[in-house]
Structure 1
Amino acid sequence: MSTSSVAVTSSFPEMDELKAIRVAGGARFTWRTSSEVRVRQHTFPLLSASIGSDDPQAPAIGFFGGVHGLECIGTQLVLEYMRALLRRLEWDDTLHHQLRAIRLIFMPIVNPGGMFARTRANPNGVDLMRNAPQSAEGRVPFLAGGQRIGPWLPWYRGAADGRMEVESAALLSLVEEQLMSRPLSFALDCHSGFGWDDSIWFPYARTERQMAHLPEMFLLKTMFEESCPHHGYAFEPQSHQYLLHGDLWDFAYDRSCAPNIFLPMTLELGSWRWIRKNPMQVFSRLGIFNPIKAHRTRRVLRRHPNFFDFLTRAAFSSRRWLPRGEFRDEVMRRAREHWQRTGVS
């Protein structure tokens, strides 16, 4: 891994903001360039940043965005949180106390080539969230669940031989090295475009089987609802909405090893409400996935950092809530009953 700067011959607003944060943050963040991507003769780095405890056993949270190049609002959300952290470090003793015990990892632009070109897929036409070498265990939506007809159609899975795109490999490498290696870690991947409302999804996306860490996820949901009863998220397995091939977070979760606990989540920002309020934006590729109107963008950037902060506090306080023994068995029973019975949040 290189820690040196990578020259970029052209840019786009989200990359400019990431570079500005890198300058403003100075030595507060540790920066890594895992690889680079070329598109239209331009070169972009795959950048990540981390901050907090250097203890490899400390809990960690990874924040990700820009897996799909058209979903700029997810990247903007992660960037805004990074900038807010820098501001808070000037005065917030509580944050300093937290960061001595946990580590935060950021990869705000997983697909810089797609974001530069304003395409969902990467420069090779591959949908990165269909790119893992796994297939669904049930029927998936036609095309949208992942297809190998060709990159000229959306939702292309990539090569059938299991070789992943450089962006997918970089994300998974970061997750394995900096998250899954720890006793406890969370990942939050920010997306947009599906549904009327906002959702927190967790594995699985490829099967209707339930994840092994359902008790831990159920307690996270319960604690968040008790702390923020008006949050408005649907908190559920992604399979309650649809199945898909090649989900990167399913693949990462299946590679995690006990006794370590790795809990990946997707924050799916529902864009249909934005389109209903501003129908003309449906004629713009960006408008299908992003709020467009400035006041709606500001509302998104205000609303969701609350969940980011909740995850940092849950990681910091994990000894108080992680279930064990008979209590975990009881929580598993309640979790299975809840999600099997309701199929909703």
Structure 2
Amino acid sequence: MDFLQPPVKVTEFARGEDPTTTFAEHEDLKEILLAGSTHFEIQAVGQVQTANPTFPIFTASIGSCDPLAPAVGFFGGIHGLERIGSQVILHYMRALLFRLQWDELLHLQLQKIRLVFMPIVNPGGMWAHKRANPNGVDLMRNAPQKAESRVPFLAGGQTLSPLLPWYCGRPGTAMEMESAAMLQVVRDQLASRPFSLALDCHSGYGFDDSLWFPYAKTRRLMAHLPEMYALKTMLVQSHPHHDYSFEPQSNQYLLHGDLWDHAYDQSPPAHIFLPMTLELGSWLWIRKNPRQLFSRHGIFNPIKAHRIKRVLRRHVDLLDFLTRAAFAAPRWLPQAERRAQLLQLATAHWRPRRPL
């Protein structure tokens, strides 16, 4: 099914006047798209109907139009309560537009790579202040594959009822429109290229920030483990004081229906597609401000203004690092003997552990 709509008109970005029919991140995205309408290629890849308003799902792309050029995709808002992930992407998009006014190196970079932004995958959930989409489905449990071993009760994905959290959807039915639209963007704009990266921003697990990569369905290690290990090594060398843990998600827990597992498995075997999930450790914000436990937003997002600013500042370097890594991919992607060496190192480093 083709979700792509005709190019979006700038007039569609008018600010919503009724606060009950919109939300802050959606309005911020529309302002950025309006300001960047001469730079971004903007599309609506779906329409989400809620009890009141209808929200388009926007993508914005910029950079090389060469289908063989490396690409980086930035995604957020798959879980409607995890607003900080969308805010990180929106902050980066806004800064990118300002840099285009003066940053000559950025212009040179964009001649060789493609950047794809999908900051609010689940606008219906974000508008309704819910983790799931308007149908009650947890989009990160919505792909058709099942975990190969035991998953955490409920949290690993369940098919009992949309009234319970972490609902995968009804078995045997098609994926939700938001999930399918995101996967098509990945398929058409990222995985179709010889090399691509993806970063999906979430929050809500642990005290530390984590970078997770496939698999979530199995303790088996991914085929592109040497490439992922090379990327991790470069991150450590170029940002030695970063605080990210970097590992397969299965080292923490298994789950059913992970979208990035599905996207990775569906990517062309001859291509290198490296998807990652940035999991912001929201327990740290709760420890510093325990009253956040009494707010649905506070469980997954920083509440105090200075902490929001700190989070937005903190992760810009990671997003810049990924764009530079894509630009320089031919210089660091391992080949032949070096790849075999990295496979041994990576296997020892990320030896599968029993999940929770």
Tell me if TM exceeds 0.5. yes
8 Å Cα contact 1:132-1:162 kept in structure 2:
no
TM-aligned CA deviation for residue 255 of structure 1: 0.5
> Is the counterpart of residue 38 in structure 1 residue 49 in structure 2?
yes
> Is the counterpart of residue 257 in structure 1 residue 261 in structure 2?
no
Question: Number of residue pairs matched?
Answer: 344
1:53 is matched with which residue?
Answer: 64
> Is the counterpart of residue 180 in structure 1 residue 191 in structure 2?
yes
> Is the counterpart of residue 189 in structure 1 residue 200 in structure 2?
yes
Specify which of 191, 196, 207 is matched with residue 218 of structure 2.
Answer: 207
8 Å Cα contact 2:199-2:278 kept in structure 1:
yes
> Is the counterpart of residue 139 in structure 1 residue 150 in structure 2?
yes
TM-aligned CA deviation for residue 4 of structure 1: 2.6
Deviation sequence 1:6-31 (CA, Å, 0-9, x none): 58782100000000001111210000
TM-aligned CA deviation for residue 84 of structure 1: 0.4
Q: Which amino acid aligns with 2:144?
A: P
2:39 is matched with which residue?
Answer: 28
Q: Distance in 1 between matches of 2:172 and 2:37?
A: 42
8 Å Cα contact 1:62-1:187 kept in structure 2:
yes
Deviation sequence 1:215-271 (CA, Å, 0-9, x none): 000000000000000001000000010000000000000011121100000000000
TM-aligned CA deviation for residue 341 of structure 1: 8.0
> Is the counterpart of residue 69 in structure 1 residue 73 in structure 2?
no
| SS state at 1:287 partner | coil
Distance verdict in 2 for CA 1:283–1:56, change over 3 Å: same
Distance verdict in 2 for CA 1:247–1:217, change over 3 Å: same
Q: Distance in 1 between matches of 2:46 and 2:231?
A: 34
Detail structure 1 runs of 4+ shifted over 6 Å in the superposition. none
TM-aligned CA deviation for residue 148 of structure 1: 0.5
Q: Distance in 1 between matches of 2:292 and 2:350?
A: 35
Q: Distance in 2 between matches of 1:30 and 1:79?
A: 16
Q: Distance in 2 between matches of 1:342 and 1:218?
A: 17
Q: Distance in 1 between matches of 2:315 and 2:33?
A: 22
TM-score, with normalisation over the residues of structure 2? 0.95
> Is the counterpart of residue 122 in structure 1 residue 126 in structure 2?
no
TM-score, with normalisation over the residues of structure 1? 0.98
8 Å Cα contact 2:62-2:110 kept in structure 1:
yes
Deviation sequence 1:48-81 (CA, Å, 0-9, x none): 0000000000000000000000000000000000
Q: Distance in 2 between matches of 1:300 and 1:154?
A: 27
Q: Distance in 2 between matches of 1:247 and 1:342?
A: 19
Q: Which amino acid aligns with 1:331?
A: L
Indicate the RMSD between aligned Cα atoms, in angstroms: 1.4
| SS state at 2:350 partner | helix
Q: Which amino acid aligns with 1:106?
A: F
8 Å Cα contact 2:251-2:353 kept in structure 1:
no
Q: Which amino acid aligns with 1:108?
A: P
Q: Distance in 2 between matches of 1:223 and 1:127?
A: 33
1:4 is matched with which residue?
Answer: 8
Q: Distance in 2 between matches of 1:258 and 1:158?
A: 29
Deviation sequence 1:153-180 (CA, Å, 0-9, x none): 0000002114100000000000000000
Specify which of 93, 108, 120 is matched with residue 119 of structure 2.
Answer: 108
8 Å Cα contact 2:140-2:258 kept in structure 1:
yes
TM-aligned CA deviation for residue 342 of structure 1: 8.7
TM-aligned CA deviation for residue 199 of structure 1: 0.3
Report the more deviating stretch, 56-65 or 31-40. 31-40
Specify which of 329, 333, 338 is matched with residue 318 of structure 1.
Answer: 329
2:301 is matched with which residue?
Answer: 290
Q: Distance in 1 between matches of 2:314 and 2:8?
A: 34
Q: Distance in 1 between matches of 2:176 and 2:59?
A: 17
